[in-house]
Structure 1
Amino acid sequence: MLRLAEILLEPRPDATWAQLRQIGVEEAVGVLPRGATDWRGHAAEPPWAYGPLALLRRAVEDAGLRLTVLEDNPPMDRLRLGAPGREEELEHVLELLRNMGRLGIEVLCYNWMAIVPWSRTSTALTGRGGASVSGFDLAAWADGPDAPEAPVEEDALWESLAWFLERAVPVAEEAGVRLALHPDDPPLSPLRGIGRIIRSLDAYDRVFALQPSPVNGMALCQGNVCLMTDDLPAAIRRFGSQGRIHFVHFRDVRGTPERFVETFVDEGPTDMAACVRAYLESGVEAPLRTDHSPALAGDSWSVPGYPTLGRLHAVGYVQGLLAALNSK
């Protein structure tokens, strides 16, 4: 079944944590607790170490939530590039997986976007009723220089991903942690001279063929996948029936990979009820969270795309869909 979760962008309790629990959210998506110290005030450990993660889980539990996903990772660009230093970065990721297993954190959401991460060119566009929305326009970089490390070829990224999965999947299996590979955002290649490979449905088939283990799965980010296909519910059924959807980002966009804007979950071009029905009918067992919500008038946020009021609206919409479709 789908389980509603929400991301906690701060590693320490704030009003958002309480609000989410008050509206019925039970599961949390966490980020690594950077700069955390243990209760004795020792010098900071790496945020993927057991001590900081254990304290994060305890804080989440004290707030009445359950930490089931980490959507963050140690530095991985040496890994993605297949460059010197990748062995050290690999060890940090494997340490994270082992610690997640010890702490019962079920899913690691990661990506294979080297150097240039998920990208928006504006966070203050105007949406419905004057809401503030984010968007992407490739033309904003038309005359700019390439990113550091460019050029990076797609073949090199496939080779490095295969090298990583060969080593990470057995550790994830032993730890009982599922790997959820996020699509490239936006699904374009190259971007500022950097190749990108997780930008089509067929790319995911290739990823799963590299390591057929059930722990090797995907984060189905609807806003990206709807830019890869005209039939998002069919894509959900395709991967859901294979048991490959380990995590869901529930959002929508309007446009093309080269130029798009975020939308409210109830106004975009995608049939969101059909998407939820596809998850349920294909037997997806995964946490689902809302993502990149527009900001309402008078809203507040610390990170663009995660405003307080806009996110509460999105969560309520998802709760309504789940209640309606689960009752049939």
Structure 2
Amino acid sequence: MMNNTMVREFILLGLTDNHQLKIILFILLIGVYLLTIMGNILIIVITLVNQQLYTPMYFFLRHIAFVEIGYTSAILPKTLDNMATGQKTISLAGCFTQSFVHFVLGTTEFLLLAAMSIDRYVAICNPLRYSTVMNNRVCSLLVLWCWAGSLLLIIVPAVVLFRMPFCGPNTINHFFCDNGPLVKLACTDTSLLNLLNFITATLSLLGTLSVNTVSYIHIISTIMRIRSTSGRQKAFSTCASHITVVSITYSSCIFMYIKPNHDSELYYSKGVALLNTVLAPLLVPFIYCLRNTQVQDALRGACRQLVAIRKDSR
């Protein structure tokens, strides 16, 4: 850290100054956070213990669930702590760590969603070669590249940001250390960092969105050529959950990083950030559990086993 950095902590203004509304939001957020953790842990456990779910699709889903746990945990615990204690501060190191983890995990999720779309493309468009192409080694390498790729994309702009001097003011009109507000507080020229952020956003957001889009254009084209209605429905059902998650994740991120021009629009920006960082991680396990018969069958089987174990123990 440079010696001319004067700011030692930042002030997060949070979601609202209304005391009653803050209490309601605190109760809602802690409930959503607990559900998010439990739901994604359930996805991880059920895809590990059930052999029917030992497929590439659920292998990627397990890693996405792990990412969602870390993604929401990087932000919500500190937000809830500030709301409960009335404090609004976060240390300089804590702010940088929160921003770095947030963007690394967010980028990893984009890459994992792109990998899942490739998996669905091979499964539907080249079903005879699916087991050969999407073998365990390929899937493991794809996940490894997703993690490594996100680190490579984020590390350079993160180092540039963290080495910048912050001389004040130190107030962030947000509930977490987002990259945009941090850049605005740097008391130096940020043109290089803005260029790096633009390149990173283009590669991580638009690049992976292009992979998803191209994959599903081919997938939909293949599904429409299936003659039987039941065959089309079955093929589409294997992609429906993934399409839903992709739509929610990308739409919220795209709107989240449209820079507001007026202060009155900051509340809208915070609302979209809540959707992206709080609600989206909660929806992932529910979408895959409610729309996927294999996961539902695995959950029923696990429940029956638990009931049987309890009966035997008595």
Q: Could you state the TM-score of these two structures normalised by the residue count of structure 1?
A: 0.23
Structure whose alpha-carbon radius of gyration is higher: 2
Please report the TM-score for the alignment, with normalisation by the length of structure 2.
0.24
| Larger strand proportion of the pair | 1
Q: Which has the higher contact order (CA 8 A, sep 6+)?
A: 2
Structure with a larger share of its residues in helix: 2
